[in-house]
Structure 1
């Protein structure tokens, strides 16, 4: 389902917010992965995370270019989301390398699910951009395989990382709900009233949790 807004002004405001939070999320991911790479146990893993950081920055540049094409300054679009995103990362600071890997994997996959769900309601060009960025499987596959290797090498990690992943999911869902409600990411763009909007968001949160649980099961962890 895509939207053809009868009134383009509210839709442009919605799009500015959507792309603004996406852009800052990608920039934050670049910074986080670059920083975490320093704590890699070996040079190979350090190079792997460095490569993933580069991919995130390329995604940031794509979203910024879209904002520029709309006549929107990327920095001004990102600024409203900086405090909440930064606070989220402060609350979920990893204790070690393995928690860093899990955080990168959980946040990357949950964010991708969230933006793909929102993209069902946007114009074709914006949806193509979201799909281009959020279906980039290279980073997800690298993180997934590295986590599988770590768990196989040290099965004692399983319970700790399972608990950590559940905490990350809870924090990510809280963040997604806040963004959805404060910026009317679902209700506003399709004209739903407040109760319909809340129902849509509840359904989306359930979908995100279900997808996360399936991915944890694939890692051999309790979702």
Structure 2
């Protein structure tokens, strides 16, 4: 998906919101991974989650630096998104180590898909930042491989984690739709009217669901 940004004033408001929600998402991921490390069955696993948390905080700092470059206070940009993001995490508290791993993996990958789709509409510098922050890297590989190992060790986990992943996807898509509607993301980005923005949102939702289903199949789970 690609297009030229909407008119400058509208686009700049969109960009402030996009970077604000990205920054708070990265900060929340850091907090979540740091907290969930307590479920780790071994010190090695605790260190793995700790390392991933550090990566999320580094991403948070990159987005904040971009906001500062634009003359925008990062806290002010994040505040409108704090209630909905916090509510999402309250609704999806993991019960154990395996659910923590799956949540981290699903949120990491679905968020990356969402922002990479959005990056097709933004200016080159912002697209580069999104790619840097959301690129599939060590974190995604570590989480996927750790989940595969856990499922191989205990196949009985499969049905529970498949259901949990499906719930996480539903909650994540609902969250993305709520934020998009409340802040007129697609309309603000593309200049599209409400009907066209709705079509784009439905297409994006289908893309997110399809990509998630493929990843679950790779884990040997029903998407």
TM-score of the alignment, normalized to the shorter chain, above 0.5: yes
Distance 2:43 2:5 in 1: 49
The answer on whether the counterparts of 1:118 and 1:185 sit within 8 Å (CA) in structure 2 is no
Q: Match of 1:49, SS?
A: helix
The answer on whether the counterparts of 2:5 and 2:11 sit within 8 Å (CA) in structure 1 is no
Residue 4 of structure 1 deviates from its aligned partner by 4.3
Distance 1:49 1:13 in 2: 34
Structure with the bigger RCO (C-alpha within 8 Å, sep 6+) is 2
Distance 1:175 1:110 in 2: 11
TM-score norm. by structure 2 comes to: 0.98
Q: How does 1:94-173 map to 2 (within 5 A)?
A: 94-173=94-173
Identify if the C-alpha distance between structure 1 residues 67 and 2 changes in structure 2 by more than 3 Å, giving closer, same or farther. farther
Residue 2 of structure 1 deviates from its aligned partner by 4.8
Distance 2:32 2:167 in 1: 18
1:160-190 per-residue CA deviation (whole Å, 9 max, x = no partner) reads: 0000000000000000111111112212211
Residue 3 of structure 1 deviates from its aligned partner by 2.5
Q: Match of 2:120, SS?
A: helix
Distance 2:188 2:74 in 1: 22
Distance 2:184 2:137 in 1: 28
Runs of 4+ in 1 over 4 A off after TM superposition: none
The answer on whether the counterparts of 1:2 and 1:124 sit within 8 Å (CA) in structure 2 is no
The answer on whether the counterparts of 1:2 and 1:123 sit within 8 Å (CA) in structure 2 is no
* Equivalent residue, structure 1, for 2:81: 81
The answer on whether the counterparts of 2:4 and 2:190 sit within 8 Å (CA) in structure 1 is yes
Residue 191 of structure 1 deviates from its aligned partner by 1.2
Which moves more between the two structures, 46-55 or 131-140? 131-140
Q: Match of 2:104, SS?
A: helix
* Equivalent residue, structure 2, for 1:3: 4
Instruction: Give 5+ residue unaligned stretches, structure 1.
Output: none
The answer on whether the counterparts of 1:187 and 1:193 sit within 8 Å (CA) in structure 2 is yes
TM-score norm. by structure 1 comes to: 0.98
Which moves more between the two structures, 165-174 or 179-188? 179-188
Distance 2:154 2:136 in 1: 29
CA RMSD of aligned residues (A): 0.9
Instruction: Give 5+ residue unaligned stretches, structure 2.
Output: none
Residue 17 of structure 1 deviates from its aligned partner by 0.1
* Equivalent residue, structure 1, for 2:211: 211
